[in-house]
Chain A
Amino acid sequence: MTSASATSEAAFDREPVSAPADSRIIQLRNVHKRYGEAESEVRALAGIDFDVDRGDFVAIMGSSGSGKSTCMNILGCLDVATEGSYYLAGVNVNDMHDDGLTLLRRHYIGFVFQGFNLLARTSALENVELPLVYRRIPAAKRREMALRSLDLVGLSDRADHSPQELSGGQQQRVAIARALVTDPALLLADEPTGNLDSARTEEIMKLLVTLNEERGITIVMVTHEPDVARYAHRTVVFKDGLILEDKRAEGCG
C-alpha cells in the first residue's frame, strides 16, 4: 500500500512486544477522555486506572453514558485517550497515529459486536477470512485458517452460507470465528449477546468461556445483563466516567 504504512509495519515487526514478562496485557493509567470544546465539553472518562491480566475474562458493566463504551473504544485502539497512558501488550498506544493503531488492531485485537457486523451477501468463510486479507496471507492458507476458526466455533459445515442464511446465534459465532482467526492477544466483545435470546446467549457465553479456558484468550466484554456478566471472572462497573466497582467472582484467581 502506501510507503508510510509499509515502513510503520516494518518498524512494528522489529519491535514486537516490549515486555513479555509483564503478565498484564492491558494497562490503563489515569486515562481521561474528553469530547468537544470548552463549555460543551463532555468528560467521558475522568481518569481511570485499569489493568487486565493475560488469560483473564473481564465483564464491563454500567449504564449508558457511564464511559464503558469509550473505554472499550480506547482498549480497541479505535480511539485514543485525551490524557493518560495505555499500554497494550507492552506497546505504548498513546503516541500512535492512525496507521499504527490500525496495525495494533490488525495484530493484537479481535472484535465481536452486538450487531454481529458481518458483511452481507458474503459467505461465512469469506467473512472469517477478511482480517487475513489485510494481513496479506495467501488465499490457500487463508482458507485453511478460516476453516479451522469456523471449526472452533462449531460452524465448519456452514462455511458457504451467507449471514442471511444463518440464525443470530450462528452469525455471532461466525463473528467470533472472524475475531479469533488472527489468534489475537485480546478479544473485545461489545454486548455480544445483546441481540440474542436466552438460549443463544447461553450458547455464545459457553463458547466464550471455553475459548478463554482452553485457549487462554483474554476477553474483555461489555454487557448490561448481570446474568451474562456472571460468566466472567471479574466484573468492573463504570459510572460517570469512573470505575465504581471492581470485583472478582468467587472461586476465581
Chain B
Amino acid sequence: MFFQTVLMALREIRRNGLRSLLTMLGVIIGVGAVIALVSVGRGATQKVTDDISKLGKNLLMVSAGARVKSGTSSAAQALNMADMLAISRDVAGIHAVAPGSSSQQQIIYGNKNASTSVSGSDNNFFEVRGYTIDKGRQFTRAESQSGMPVCVIGKTVQTELFGTQDPLGAQVRVGKVSCQIIGTLISKGTAGMGQDQDDVLIMPLRAFQRRISGNNDISLIFVSAEEGHPTAVVAESIRALLRQRRHRPAGSDDDFNVRDMAEIADTVTSTTNALTALLGAIAAVSLLVGGIGIMNIMLVSVTERTREIGIRLAIGAFAGEVMMQFLLEAIVLSTLGGIIGVILGLIGSFFAARSLSLPFVIPPEIVGLAFAFSGLVGVLFGYLPARKAARLNPIEALRHE
C-alpha cells in the first residue's frame, strides 16, 4: 500500500511536470545553495590548511622586531647564530632548527635572468621547510662552514633559467656573486598566501652573510616542533628564552615575534568555518521558503482535486489513506527537490572549486542533513494540505465543480 501510494505520488508529480518542477525549485535552490556553499567553504579551509602545512611541518618562525598592528616589524636588535643555538639547545620538544636570511636577488645564467628569493641557511632548512632534493645534493659540512658559493635551486628558477637543460654544475650569478648549482628541489607548489614555494635559491648561510647581506644577522629562525609537542607550548618556551636572552624587562612587549603556523591555520579555518555557517544558515532559510512553496501548491492541488478526493472517499478510502496520499506526495516532491538540489549543488561546487583552484570536497554529513531536512520540509508543509484533503466531506467533495 505504501509503495502503491508512492507510485501514485510520483505519477501525480510527473503528470504536472512543469508545476512540480517550479514547486520543487525552492527546495532545489535551498538544498543546492547549502551544499554548494558548505562544499566550497570546506574546500577553501582545506586549501588554506594544506598550504600552511606546506610551509613546513609544525613550523614556527622566529623573527626580530615586535609585531605591530600593520604587520610590519619595528626596528629591533637582529637575531644571530647564538640565539638559534640557544633555542636548539634549551627548548624542549624541538625537532630541528634552521637559520634563514633572505633577500630578493637577480640571478643570471647566460642570457637569461630571473628575480628570486635567495636564502642563506644550512641543511636543516630542507628538513624544517619540507624541501626534498630532487637531483644533486645538499651542502657539505665544508661548504657550510667556509661559506662556499654553492646553491640549491627550486623548480621555478630551474625552469626559467635552464628550461630542460641540466642545471647541475652550472655557474650562475646571484647578485654580484658567482655561484655553482649543486642541487635542485622537488616542486612544492604555492603555499599560504600564494607565494611560489619553488621560486627559491638556497646557499650556505655563511656565504649569504659574507657575499650578499654583508652582516652576521639572521632574519628568521625556522623551528620545527617535534611530533607530539604542541607548537603553542614550544612557541611559549622560545619566547621565554628569547626574552631572557634579550633582557626584556618584565611587563615590556616582546621585541621579536614567534609565529606559529598551526595557530594561523586555526585562525583561518575558524574564520572560513564561521563564514560557511553563516552562508549555510541563509541558504537554509531559502529551504524553508521552498517548503512554504510546496505547501502553497499542495493546498491548490487539494482544492483542484477535491472531486478526486470525493471519489476516493466514496469508493472506500479511509480519511487516513487520503491524508497519507497527499502527505507522501508532498514528501516525495520535497525529497525529489532535495536530491536534485544535492546533485546541482555538488556540480556547482565542483565547477566553483575548479575555477577558484580549490580542492573539491563533498561534505557527507551536510549532504545527509540537507536531504533529511528536505524530507522534513515535506512532512511539515505537507501536513496541513493533507489534513485538509482528509477532512473533506465526500458528499460535498463529489458535488465540487
Closest to B313 in A: A102
Complex-state Cα separation, A144 to B202, whole angstroms: 86
Does B395 have its Cβ within 8 Å of any Cβ on chain A? yes
Give the most central of B310, B314, B321: most A CB within 10 Å: B314
- Indicate whether B308 reaches chain A with its CB closer than 8 angstroms: yes
Instruction: Decide yes or no whether A27 CB sits under 8 A from chain B.
Output: no
Number of residues on chain A facing chain B (CB within 8 A):
29
Q: CB-CB contacts of A122-150 with B at 8 A, as 1s and 0s?
A: 00000000110111100100000000000
Assuming A79-B395, A133-B4, is B314 touching A105 (CB within 8 A)?
yes
Which one of B4, B15, B311, B317 has the greatest number of beta carbons of chain A within 10 Å? Answer: B311
Neighbour of B321 across the interface among A111, A113, A131, A134, CB < 8 A = A134
Contact pick for B315, options A99, A121, A130, CB 8 Å: A130
CB distance from A200 to the nearest CB of B (A): 21
* A113: chain B residues within 8 A (beta carbon): 398
A1 within 8 A of B: yes
Let me know if A23 is at the binding interface, CB within 8 A.
no
What A residues does B324 contact at CB under 8 A? 1
Q: Does A106 contact B (CB under 8 A)?
A: yes
- By beta carbon, the residue of chain A nearest B308 is A119
Instruction: Say whether B315 contacts A78, CB under 8 Å.
Output: no
Q: Are the CB atoms of B315 and A134 closer together than 8 Å?
A: yes
Minimum distance in angstroms from B139 CB to a CB of chain A: 81
**In the bound complex, do residue A102 and residue B398 qualify as a contact, i.e. CB atoms below 8 Å apart?**
no
Any chain B CB within 8 A of the CB of A156?
A: no
Among residues 312 to 333 in chain B, which have CB atoms less than 8 Å away from a CB atom of chain A?
Answer: 312-321, 324
Task: Say which residue of B1, B316, B394, B398 sits within 8 Å of A106 (CB atoms).
Answer: B316
Contacts of B1 in A (CB 8 A): 1, 133, 136
Inter-chain contact A105/B318, CB cutoff 8 Å? no
Residue of A nearest to B316 (CB): A106
B84 CB to nearest A CB, Å: 79
CB-CB under 8 A for A134 and B317, given A1-B324, A117-B311, A119-B308: yes
Report the tally of A-B residue pairs with Cβ distances under 8 A: 60
A1-B1, A136-B1 as given contacts; A117 in contact with B317, CB under 8 Å: no
Interface: A169 (CB within 8 A): no
* Complex CA–CA separation, A78 to B311 (angstroms): 11
What residues of chain A lie closer than 8 Å to B314, measured between beta carbons?
Answer: 76, 78, 105, 111
Query: Is A40's beta carbon under 8 Å from chain B?
Result: no
Interface check A49, CB cutoff 8 A: no
Chain B residue contacts of A102, Cβ below 8 A: 313, 316-319
* Cross-chain contact B317 with A98 (CB below 8 angstroms): no
Q: Is the interface of B mostly helix, strand, loop or mixed?
A: helix
Name the residue of chain B whose CB is nearest to the CB of A139. Answer: B4
* Contact partners of A5 in chain B: CB under 8 A: 318, 320
Q: Is A107 an interface residue (CB 8 A)?
A: yes
**Which residues of the partner chain B approach A107 to less than 8 Å between Cβ atoms?**
316
A2 is an interface residue with CB less than 8 A from chain B: yes
Q: Is the CB of A111 within 8 A of B315?
A: yes
Q: Are A117 and B307 in contact (CB under 8 A)?
A: yes
A212 within 8 A of B: no
Find residues 1-35 in chain A having any chain B CB closer than 8 Å to their own CB: 1-2, 5
Residues of B near A201 (CB, < 8 A) are none
Complexed CA–CA distance, A114 and B310 (Å): 14
0/1 string, B229-257, CB within 8 A of A gives 1 = 00000000000000000000000000000
Given A78-B394, A136-B1: A131 and B315 within 8 A (CB)?
yes
The 8 A CB mask of B108-135 against A (1 = contact, 0 = none) is 0000000000000000000000000000
A188's nearest neighbour on chain B, judged by CB, is: B314
Taking a contact as CB atoms under 8 Å apart, the answer to whether A78 and B316 are in contact is: no
* Separation of A134 and B315 alpha carbons in the complex (Å): 8
Question: Chain B residues with Cβ under 8 A from A136's Cβ?
Answer: 1
Alpha-carbon separation in the docked complex, A107 to B318 (Å): 13
* B395 contact set on A, CB distance < 8 A: 73, 78-79
| Those of A154-198 within 8 Å (CB) of chain B | 178, 182
How far apart sit A2 and B317, CA to CA, in the bound complex (Å)?
A: 12
Q: A133 vs B316: C-alpha distance in the bound complex, in angstroms?
A: 10
Bound complex: CA A121 to CA B395 (Å) = 23
Complex Cα gap A62–B308 (Å): 28
CB-based contact A1/B312 at 8 Å: no
Beta-carbon contact of B398 and A105 below 8 Å: no
B316 touches A131 (CB 8 A): yes
In the complex, what residues of A have CB within 8 A of residue B320's CB? 1-2, 5, 99
13 new A-B contacts, CB < 8 A, other than A78-B314, A111-B315, are: A2-B318, A99-B319, A102-B313, A102-B317, A106-B315, A111-B314, A113-B398, A117-B307, A117-B310, A130-B315, A131-B315, A134-B315, A182-B316
The 3 closest A-B pairs by CB, nearest first: A106-B316, A131-B315, A2-B320
A-B contact pairs, 7 of them (CB 8 A): A5-B320, A99-B319, A102-B313, A111-B314, A111-B315, A131-B316, A133-B4
